[in-house]
Structure formats: structure tokens, C-alpha cells
């Protein structure tokens, strides 16, 4: 067998535990002679291991015994410490009157302060709505159509709209020179279609519209609101010479749909 450093190291370690076979021992010695650097490393390791083997385990001194007993006592004490649950239970029992007082204070806060806070929130909400309404009513008079559309869209942020807002939207639907603004106003009015005043205003608006786009949008709105009272207005529109032919089928379909509701 041709020796390598790994095999020689293994044989050398085996020789420390017991004698090798004669042939192995001779081959190992020849390898170490041919590789003096490797042989020196093995000798250094051997010296180190021998020095470690000479170390003796010290006998426990009395001082070591005392330290061990102290550590053991500390471990026992740690194991006997009350848990967090035990500490909370003890604290609650010792401070029950304080806990009851805190509970009573919480009830007082709930009775006297929370309603006030709720009132403050309600007042703030009302103030914000008033500000948005004022802004809407101001912007809807602006000369730029895009500003008026912003004003109309602002009503969608209102939790509810009073008559001032709906009246402004109806006026815009009937009178604004921009078709896009009128369409936006119609869209903004539909959510308030449950109000009888708004429904009647929408029916009346059918008679004053001259834009085919707005006329068709009103037809869709009446179907959405299921407003049968709009049938007569659409019949009058069909007979008008001012209505373009392209939307007459839509108007006829709207009349039939409303009649079937």
C-alpha cells in the first residue's frame, strides 16, 4: 500500500493506542523519514497530547464545596419563586379596594365623559358638512365648467343633503350651459330620488332638456327609480319635433319598461 499523509496519520494514531503490525510499523517509519516536515508535525501533536494526558483532575476543595452548596441553594430558591399569576393574584387580593375604585372611576368616565365626547364628534361632523355645503354652493356658481363639476361631485361626500343642496343640483340640471355639468348633476341627484320633491323635479326636467345625452340619461334614471309618473313626459317628448330620431327607440323602450313595472 502506498502511504499518504492521511493514511500515515491514521497509522500513527493507532500506534499511540497499541503496537502496529511489523510491516505497517516499518512502512510508517520509512514514510516519516522521507517526509521530515510531516514527521515533525506528528511529533509536536504527540508532545501536546502527552502533556494533556499528564494533567490530573484536581480534588474538590472545601471552598469548591461551599460554592457548589451556594449555587444549589440559589437554584432551589429560584424554583420556589412565585409565578407571575401568583404575584398578580396576591396583588389583587392586597389591593382589592383600589381595583374597585378604578372600576368605579371607569364607570364615572363612561357615564359623564363619553357622551360629551360623542356630542363633540357629532358637532364636528355637522360643522364639516356645513363647510362642504358652503363650498359646493360657492363653486357651483364658478364660470369654469370643471369647477362646477367639482362642486357637484362634492355632494357625494355629504352623508346627507338638505334642500339647499338638492335645489342647487336641480337648478344646475335644468339650466347649466354645459352638458357634462348637467349629466354630473343628474348623477348626483339619483341617490336622493327617494325624496318626493327630487323625483318630481326630475320628471319636470324631462320637459326642459334639449340634449339627447341628457334625455337618454334621464330615461335611465327614471327606470332606475321605477318612476311610472314619467311615462307621460316621455310620450310628449316622443311627439316633439325637436327630438332626434336616433333616441326615439330608447324613449319608446323606456315607456314600455316603466308601464310594466
Can you give the pLDDT at residue 166?
A: 93
Can you give the pLDDT at residue 130?
A: 77
Instruction: Give me the domains of the chain, ranges plus CATH numbers.
Output: 5-47 (no CATH), 116-260 (1.25.10.10)
Per-residue pLDDT of the chain in tens (261 residues, 90 and over written 9):
677 877 777 777 777 767 878 878 888 788 888 888 877 776 766 654 554 444 444 454 555 555 545 555 554 455 455 554 455 445 444 554 444 455 555 555 565 555 555 555 555 566 666 777 888 889 899 999 999 999 999 888 887 778 899 999 999 999 999 999 999 999 999 999 999 999 999 999 999 999 999 999 999 999 999 999 999 999 999 999 889 999 999 999 999 999 998
Q: How far apart are CA 261 and CA 250, in angstroms?
A: 17
Can you give the pLDDT at residue 173?
A: 97
Distances (CA, A) of 208 to 19, 171, 214, 227, 247: 121, 11, 10, 18, 16
Can you give the pLDDT at residue 100?
A: 47
Q: How far apart are CA 18 and CA 167, in angstroms?
A: 112
Can you give the pLDDT at residue 171?
A: 96
Alpha helices, DSSP H, located in the chain? 5-17, 22-34, 36-53, 62-79, 84-94, 96-112, 114-139, 145-154, 163-175, 179-189, 196-208, 212-225, 231-239, 248-260
Q: Are 152 and 140 in contact (CB under 8 A)?
A: yes
Can you give the pLDDT at residue 106?
A: 58
Can you give the pLDDT at residue 143?
A: 92
Amino acid at each position: 500500500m502506498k502511504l499518504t499523509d492521511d493514511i500515515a496519520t491514521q497509522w500513527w494514531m493507532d500506534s499511540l493506542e497499541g503496537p502496529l503490525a511489523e510491516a505497517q510499523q516499518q512502512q510508517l517509519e520509512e514514510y516519516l523519514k522521507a517526509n521530515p516536515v510531516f514527521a515533525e508535525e506528528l511529533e509536536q501533536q504527540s508532545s501536546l497530547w502527552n502533556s494533556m494526558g499528564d494533567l490530573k483532575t484536581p480534588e474538590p476543595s472545601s471552598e469548591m464545596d461551599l460554592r457548589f452548596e451556594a449555587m444549589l441553594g440559589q437554584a432551589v430558591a429560584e424554583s420556589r419563586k412565585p409565578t407571575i399569576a401568583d404575584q398578580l393574584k396576591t396583588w389583587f387580593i392586597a389591593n382589592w379596594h383600589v381595583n374597585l375604585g378604578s372600576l368605579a372611576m371607569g364607570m364615572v368616565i363612561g357615564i359623564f365623559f363619553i357622551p360629551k365626547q360623542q356630542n363633540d364628534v357629532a358637532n364636528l361632523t355637522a360643522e364639516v358638512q356645513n363647510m362642504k355645503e358652503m363650498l359646493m354652493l360657492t363653486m357651483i356658481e364658478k364660470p369654469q365648467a370643471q369647477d362646477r363639476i367639482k362642486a357637484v361631485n362634492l355632494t357625494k361626500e355629504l352623508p346627507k343633503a338638505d334642500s339647499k343642496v338638492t335645489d342647487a343640483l336641480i337648478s344646475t340640471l335644468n339650466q347649466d350651459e354645459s352638458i357634462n355639468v348637467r349629466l354630473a348633476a343628474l348623477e348626483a341627484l339619483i341617490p336622493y330620488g327617494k325624496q318626493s320633491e327630487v323625483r318630481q323635479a326630475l320628471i319636470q326636467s324631462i320637459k326642459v332638456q334639449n340634449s339627447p345625452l341628457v334625455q337618454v340619461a334621464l330615461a335611465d334614471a327614471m327606470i332606475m327609480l321605477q318612476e311610472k309618473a314619467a311615462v307621460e313626459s316621455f310620450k310628449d317628448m316622443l311627439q316633439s319635433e325637436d327630438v332626434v330620431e336616433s333616441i326615439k327607440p330608447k324613449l319608446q323602450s323606456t315607456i314600455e319598461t316603466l308601464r310594466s313595472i
